Amino acid sequence: MARYWICPNCGTRAIDDDGRDGLSHQQVGCAKCGFGFLFELLEDFYPPANAGFVACDKDTRVISAGKGVFELTGYGEGELLGKPLVDAFGLSGFSAEANPVSVVMEWGVRKLDQPLMLRHRSGREKAVRVDLFPAYDEDGGLLASLAPRND
């Protein structure tokens, strides 16, 4: 069965579809940028070209901010580490009952193309498209893809 991976730094996709069980455990990092780990997806995903990726732990706290996040949000990785995803980026545009991050964590389902607002480091509100993916390894967590939205 094919397994799909994405680099939380540069968004490069990797597919392990040769059926050799166990090979995936040897995935040590991104073949393109050398980032230390890959995030497994249940299905393949083509990120927007200008997306920035943020990986979070099981408490939705930021553990890495990839290439493109600074350009989009003004925040460097050091300012984001350890903060809950929603607070770190001042995400809004959803009701408390329909917080897409909570839905992903609670139900283990992906939420794609969420039209949210993000607070840029400068204080400016920015329209973004957010794709959220639950982690499938035992550590849990999630991956967020943030991209500018022009509507």
Q: Return residues touching Zn ion (CB under 5 A).
A: 7, 9-10, 12, 30, 32-33, 35
* CA distance linking residue 100 with residue 110, whole number of Å: 9
What minimum distance in Å lies between the beta carbon of 110 and Zn ion?
20
Q: Which is nearer to Zn ion, 6 or 104 (CB)?
A: 6
What minimum distance in Å lies between the beta carbon of 6 and Zn ion?
9
Q: In this structure, are strands 13-16 and 52-56 parallel, antiparallel, or unpaired? A: unpaired
Q: CA dist 147 to 2, 36, 118, 122, 137, Å? A: 27, 23, 10, 17, 25
Q: Which is nearer to Zn ion, 64 or 73 (CB)?
A: 64
Q: Which is nearer to Zn ion, 2 or 33 (CB)?
A: 33
What minimum distance in Å lies between the beta carbon of 12 and Zn ion?
5
Q: Where are the alpha helices (DSSP H) in 81-122?
A: 85-88, 100-107
